Amino acid sequence: MVKDKDGFIVEVASPTGFCFGVKRAVESLEKCIEERASVGEKVYSIGMPIHNPQEVERLCQKGLVVTDKIEDVPEGASVFIRAHGAPPKVKKLLAERCGGRVIDATCPFVKNAQEKAALLSGEGYALLVLGDPGHPEVQAIVGCASGEVFVASSLSEVRELVKKDKLGVISQTTQKTELFAEAVGILAGSARELRVFNTICGATTQRQDGVRRMTGTVDGIIVVGGRNSANTAKLAEIASAGGCDVKWIEHAGELDKEWFNGKIKIGIAAGASTPDWLIDELKNALETSQMSRGMEGYDGRNDE
Ligand code: SF4
- Residue whose Cα lies nearest atom 2 of ligand 1: it is 201
Does residue 83 have its Cβ closer than 6 Å to ligand 1?
yes
All structural domains of the chain with their residue ranges: 2-18+203-287, 21-107, 109-200
Q: Is 192 exposed, middle or buried (0-12, 13-18, 19+ CB in 10 A)?
A: exposed
Band of residue 8 on the pLDDT scale cut at 50, 70, 90: confident
* Range 107-146 burial, b when 16+ CB lie within 10 A, else e: bebbbebbebbbbbbeeebbbbbbbbeebbbbbbbbbbbe
User: Taken in order 238, 240, 246, 251, is the CA torsion positive or negative?
Assistant: positive
Task: Please report the pLDDT score of residue 287 as a whole number.
Answer: 80
Q: pLDDT tens across 12-35, in order?
A: 999 998 999 999 999 999 999 999
Architecture of domain 2-18+203-287: 3-Layer(aba) Sandwich (3.40)
Query: What fold is seen in the domain 21-107?
Result: Rossmann fold (3.40.50)
Q: pLDDT tens across 242-288, in order?
A: 999 999 999 999 998 899 989 989 999 999 999 999 999 999 888 87
Task: Please report the pLDDT score of residue 291 as a whole number.
Answer: 53
Q: pLDDT tens across 99-153, in order?
A: 889 999 999 999 999 999 999 999 999 999 999 999 999 999 999 999 999 999 9
- State the distance from the centre of ligand 1 to the C-alpha of 203, rounded, in angstroms: 6
Does residue 105 have its Cβ closer than 6 Å to ligand 1?
no
Task: Please report the pLDDT score of residue 176 as a whole number.
Answer: 87
Q: What percent of the chain has pLDDT over 70?
A: 92
Query: What fold is seen in the domain 109-200?
Result: Cobalt-precorrin-4 Transmethylase; domain 1 (3.40.1010)
